[in-house]
Amino acid sequence: MEEGVTRIGVSLPKNLLDEFDSIIETRGYSSRSEAIRDAIRSYISEYKWMEKEEGEIIGVVNVIYDHHMKGVTDAIIDLQHEFGGIISTTLHIHLDKDSCLEMILVKGEMQKIKKLVDKITALRGVMNVKLITALKE
């Protein structure tokens, strides 16, 4: 084992692992470990970018969630009310029988938008959250 490398264990739902393995094969990774390292590096890079951003921004928060998960839809709506001062509009799309996409257009201070993103990300049933800044003033 490489010096300075720590071995960890991760529990994943089978469907998530199957999809990950499919991507690994398509992209030509030599191992899951290599792909997981790349995914973690990407996550860290995106997090650090968000932490540097400040001031007034305009963007979109894309949220994919399992609408069958008890309470997740109500929790997302409650957060939209809580953060109404920075939300311009929302768009709801049914992706398939289980998943929905909520596109939340935001304008305001990055710190408030980060708080919204963090709270949505922490909700059980939310599968993916992505903030895309469209314009920085």
Q: Give per-residue pLDDT as tens, 109-124.
A: 989 999 999 999 999 9
- CB 92 within 8 Å of CB 102: yes
- What whole-number distance in Å separates Cα of residue 44 and Cα of residue 55? 21
Q: What is the pLDDT of residues 74-97, one digit of tens each?
A: 999 999 999 999 999 999 999 999
Confidence of residue 5 (pLDDT cuts 50, 70, 90): confident
pTM for the model:
0.67
- What whole-number distance in Å separates Cα of residue 55 and Cα of residue 64? 26
Any idea where the domains of the chain sit in the sequence?
14-50, 55-136
Residue 38 is predicted with a pLDDT of: 85
- What homologous superfamily does CATH list for 55-136? ACT-like. Chain A, domain 2 (3.30.70.1150)
